[in-house]
Amino acid sequence: MQEPCDIRFSAVRKTFGAQTVIPSLDLEVRSGERLVLLGPSGCGKSTIMRLIAGLEQPVSGTIAMGGQIVNGLDASERNVSMVFQNYALYPHMTVFDNMAFSLKLRKVAKAEITRRIQEAAEKLELGSLLQRKPRELSGGQRQRVALGRAIVQQSSYFLLDEPLSNLDAQLRTNARNDLVELHKSYPRTMVYVTHDQVEAMTIGQRIAVLRQGELQQIGSPEDIYMRPANRFVAAFMGNPPMNIVPVTVGDQQVMFADGGELALPESVLSSLKRCGEQHVLLGIRPEALELWEGDRTVVKPFPPSIAIRGEFIRSEYLGAVVIHHIAVGQHRLLVSSAAPVQFKPHSNVTLTASCEHLHFFEAAGAEQRIPLTVQHLKPKNQPEQVLVMSGR
Amino acid sequence: MKIKVSGWNLLLFICLLLSFFPLVWMISTTFKQADQIFSEFLNPLPRPFTWENISYVLNAVPMVRYFINSLIVAVLVTAFQLVTSILAAYSFTRFDFKGRQFLFYVVVASMLIPIQVTMLPNYLLISKLDWLNTYAGLVAPQLANGMGVFLLRQTFRTIPQSLYESAQVGGAAEWQILWRIAFPVVRPTVLALGVMFFINVWNEYFWPLLVINDKDMLTIPLALQLFINSEGGNSWGPMMAVGTLASLPPLIAFFIVNRQIVSSFISTGVKG
């Protein structure tokens, strides 16, 4: 693309009557990237998309597209094309007419319209369906028509509002790949709204996680997953969700509410002490934990690790992964592993994890991430081998 | 096929006979000779079959002229009512303006006001405008119809918001969204309303009776009274002939549009 097609929100505020949907949003969508707006329903992600499309206007703040401020500009003047959740195909028009509709309005030459539609139809395998009406199409075909209708407009901005949510699981997987491939052939600035984290991770080059109209974190899928900015992002991303346990920071260890203790390497503890909070939240992803039978202490000092003793409750077999439920004091931790285990219920087990995989969040306020420094080299005279006790 | 006759079926059949009897009687009387009308009151078959009532009616009064009068008024009123209903209903659905709900209630309330309440002010207005005995006088008070606005608004509301928005993002102006997206979807309702409006106006008796006394400006329902008054109320053959002629256009209109209404209902598969 020759001209920059970025989108910039500066202090954008949107209310509906007395209800504030977006308090104040700063957001940048880079030219040509695939940005996914992710969040639970009601978090304002669709509103943001509608603000970009011009279907809603902000109460205050500015929205700039390609360097131009577009506040007040009508949807028809913004050079965007949009795919709606229910596809919004015109029921009385054939597939061809649906795709040609906005081109005809924009007075594109007939031959050019036909050329563009045929090209898109070929790419989306719609060739044989062009003369059908929407009601004669399956869900997947309708979804592709909606995509095709957006593509032929050759707009600079491509907005997709949960376009895959009406498809079944199998189709959705294919459609995700198709979308990414499609974006490679039509490298426009693409904003994609979803509440599905798998969609977000697979489609987004960057993900913006939203909650109650506020941006929680924006970054690459790896960033969001590996370094969640706060407890909300940590808990929202990942399935099964991250184990999050409130702990109190002590001198050599952190204490669980039920009296259990977890000894931590000095480097981690000093990071925690630096932030000055006494009560913090400890987060460990289920796949970061390793499950061992019986009581075990960590023998490998590198990388620095922790061990947690618990009681095996049960396993859920999901095929590719197995989820194990482990009781640690009054807490229930989830562990995922590739292979099933043959432990007896209520038998003693030990969970180990590398300290690199520990996340700490403030227990109050915005529950921000507490940055950790984990020393990888063994400091002199200080074994970084740790273990834990927990009230079992 | 096995037909099960229950008490309800029988009752329905009797109701059907009762509702059809006047229509059948009107048509058969039209083609009966004067002496057969009461001697074979219940026999629906005219023997001998005669056109004389029809030809009498056509010759005795300027029937064609009355037909044209009725047609002009009915078409004009129907067209105006449809256009105003579509525009108003679309605005009530699509635009969020101050007082929208209140205005809509006013429109709905207008359906509750009987003609007897508006008749005098309307008559005075039309008379002040010097529109008595004119088409304008017949048409002007009926340019909008609250029922049409109400029914069409309900239909427009069934169209998913995203359909409008998709067109809007696609570059359509508001009138294009209305004409090319919304209207085709609500066309069956518009056609049904059109037939309803047309039949209402075609059959209208009271308002034309007030504003028309020029014999050339009579509409068909008014022409009926010519035969009641002048012939002392006993020329049933010609009266029924006028009736039969008068019911033809609405019937034809209904049958033509009926097929379209059904087929457009079938083709309107708004995605579920």
**What does the pLDDT average to over A120-149?**
92
The C-alpha of B148 sits at a distance from chain A's nearest C-alpha, in angstroms, of 23
Chain B residue whose CA is closest to A102: B170
B165 and A105 in contact by Cβ < 8 A? no
Residue A2 counted as domain residue: no
Residue B18: per-residue pLDDT: 92
For residue B46, say if its preceding peptide bond is cis, omega within 30 degrees of 0.
no
B269 touches chain A (CB under 8 A): yes
Q: What is d(CA A199, CA A176) in angstroms, rounded to the nearest whole number?
A: 7
Q: What is the pLDDT of residue A54?
A: 94
Average pLDDT (A110-123) is: 94
pTM score of the predicted model? 0.81
Closest-CA residue of B relative to A138 is: B271
The answer to whether residues A188 and A316 belong to one domain is no
Nearest CB to B169; choose among A75, A85, A92: A75
What are the b/e assignments for A207-221, b being 16+ CB within 10 Å? bbbbbebbbbbbbeb
**Strand duo A157-161 + A189-194: pairing:** parallel
Q: Classify residue A1: in a domain, yes or no.
A: no
A&B contacts, CB < 8 Å: 73
Q: For domain B63-267, which architecture applies?
A: Orthogonal Bundle (1.10)
Q: Between chains, do A91 and B171 touch, taking CB under 8 Å as contact?
A: no
d(CA A137, CA B212): 57
Q: Does B170 touch chain A (CB under 8 A)?
A: yes
Tokens for B240? 């029924």
Are the beta carbons of B184 and A92 separated by less than 8 Å? yes
Contact A101 B168 (CB under 8 A): no
The pLDDT, as a whole number, for residue A375 is: 59
How close A212 comes to chain B (CA, Å)?
A: 23
Domain check: are A165 and A139 in the same one? Answer: yes
Report which of residues A144 and A299 the model is more confident about: A144
The residue among A149, A165, A29, A32 whose CA lies nearest residue A98 is: A149
- Given an 8 Å threshold on Cβ–Cβ distance, is B271 in contact with A85? no
Where does chain B hold its CATH 1.10.3720.10 domain(s)? 63-267
Judged against a pLDDT cut of 70, whether residue A203 lies above it is answered with yes
**What is the overall mean pLDDT for chain B?**
87
User: What pLDDT is recorded for position B100?
Assistant: 94
Does the beta carbon of A87 lie under 8 angstroms from any beta carbon of chain B? yes
State the pLDDT at residue B270: 40
What's the confidence (pLDDT) of residue A269? 86
Residues A211 and A247 in one domain: no
Mean pLDDT of B18-31: 90
Q: Are residues A159 and A262 in the same domain?
A: no
A80/B169 CB distance under 8 A: yes
Together in a domain, A133 and A87: yes
Chain A: give the shortest CA distance to residue B91, in Å. 17
Q: Give the DSSP H/E element, type plus range, for residue B210.
A: helix B206-211
Arithmetic mean of pLDDT, B14-40: 87
**Collapsed DSSP state (helix, strand, coil) of residue A60:** strand
Range of weakest confidence among A184-188, B132-136, B227-231: B227-231
Q: Give the pLDDT confidence score for residue B272 in this predicted structure.
A: 32
- Chain B partners within 8 Å of A80 (Cβ): 169
Domain boundary among A212, A232, A252: A232
How much of chain A exceeds pLDDT 70, in percent? 93
pLDDT of residue B48 exceeding 90: no
The more confident residue out of B40 and B102 is: B102
Partners of B269 on chain A (C-beta within 8 Å) are 91, 133-135
For residue A259, name the pLDDT band (cuts at 50, 70, 90): confident
pLDDT of residue A51: 96
Mark which of A182, A206, A232 sits at the end of a domain: A232
Residue in A with minimal Cα distance to B170: A102
Residues A57 and A195 in one domain: yes
Nearest to A130 by CA among A149, A112, A111: A149
Task: Tell me the pLDDT tens digit for each residue of A289-305.
Answer: 999 988 877 656 667 78
Looking up residue A26, the CATH number of its domain turns out to be 3.40.50.300
pLDDT score recorded for residue B234: 62
Give the gap in angstroms from C-alpha B54 to the nearest C-alpha of chain A: 45
Question: Based on the domain organization, do A279 and A205 belong to the same domain?
Answer: no
- Of A209, A232, A255, which closes a domain? A232
Q: Per the domain annotation, does A378 fall within a domain?
A: yes
pLDDT at A373 over 80: no
Q: Which pLDDT tens digit goes with each residue over A76-95?
A: 889 999 999 999 999 999 99
Q: Is A92 on the interface with B (CB under 8 A)?
A: yes
Q: In the predicted model, what is the mean pLDDT of residues B179-207? A: 90
Partner B, chain A 132-161, Cβ-Cβ below 8 Å: 133-135, 142, 149, 153
* Structure confidence at residue A302 (pLDDT): 66
Q: Is residue A160 part of a domain?
A: yes
Closest-CA distance, A81 to chain B, in angstroms, reads: 6
**Nearest Cβ partner for A105 among B160, B176, B267:** B176
Q: Which domain holds residue A163?
A: 7-232
The complex's ipTM? 0.82
Interface of A with B in 238-257 (CB under 8 A): none
- Helix B63-94 to helix B146-157 angle, to the nearest 10 degrees? 40
Please count the structural domains in chain A: 2
B50 pLDDT above the threshold of 90: no
Residues 7-66 of A with CB under 8 A from B: 53-55
Query: What pLDDT is attached to residue B163?
Result: 93
B269:A135 CB<8 A: yes
pLDDT of A383 > 70? The answer is no
Q: Does one domain contain both A303 and A192? A: no
Q: Over the stretch B174-183, which tens digit does the pLDDT of each residue have?
A: 999 999 999 9
CB contact under 8 A, B185 and A91: yes
Q: In sequence order, what are the beta bridge partners of A13?
A: A60
Residue A133 has pLDDT above 90, yes or no: yes
Is residue A81 within 8 angstroms of chain B, CB to CB?
yes
Q: How far is the alpha carbon of A20 from chain B, nearest alpha carbon, in Å?
A: 19
Chain-chain contact of B170 with A76 (C-beta, under 8 angstroms)? yes
Q: Please give the share of chain A, as a percent, with pLDDT higher than 90.
A: 63
Tens of pLDDT, residue by residue over A24-65, are 999 999 999 999 999 998 899 999 999 999 999 999 999 999
Within this chain, do residues A171 and A271 fall inside the same structural domain, yes or no?
Answer: no
| Three-state DSSP string of A372-385 | CCCCCCCCCCCCCE
Say whether B268 and A75 touch across the interface (CB within 8 A): no
Q: What is the DSSP string of B45-85?
A: S-SS---HHHHHHHHHS-HHHHHHHHHHHHHHHHHHHHHHH
Please give the residue that has the higher pLDDT: either A73 or A378.
A73
CA A115 to mean position of chain CA atoms: 37
Residue B100 at interface with chain A, using a CB cutoff of 8 Å: no
B12 and B20 Cβ atoms separated by less than 8 Å:
no
Task: Tell me, yes or no, whether A247 and A227 share the same domain.
Answer: no
How many Cβ atoms are within 10 Å of A331's Cβ, its own excluded? 19
Alpha-carbon gap: B168 to the closest alpha carbon of chain A (Å) = 6
Residues from chain A contacting residue B188 (CB–CB below 8 Å): none
Asked if A133 lies within 8 A of B180 by C-beta distance, the reply is no
* A54: chain B residues, CB-CB within 8 Å: 169
Give residue A156's pLDDT: 92
A188 in the same domain as A253 = no
Whether B269 sits inside 8 A of A82 (CB atoms) is: no
Nearest to B268 among A74, A88, A91 (CB): A91
Contacts of B160 in chain A (CB under 8 A): 86, 88
Residues A215 and A325 in one domain: no
| pLDDT for the residue numbered A115 | 96
Quote the pLDDT of residue A285: 95
Q: What is the pLDDT of residue B261?
A: 65
Q: What is the mean pLDDT of residues B108-136?
A: 92
User: What does the pLDDT read at residue A385?
Assistant: 45
Lookup result for tokens 């309330």: B109
pLDDT on residue A374: 66
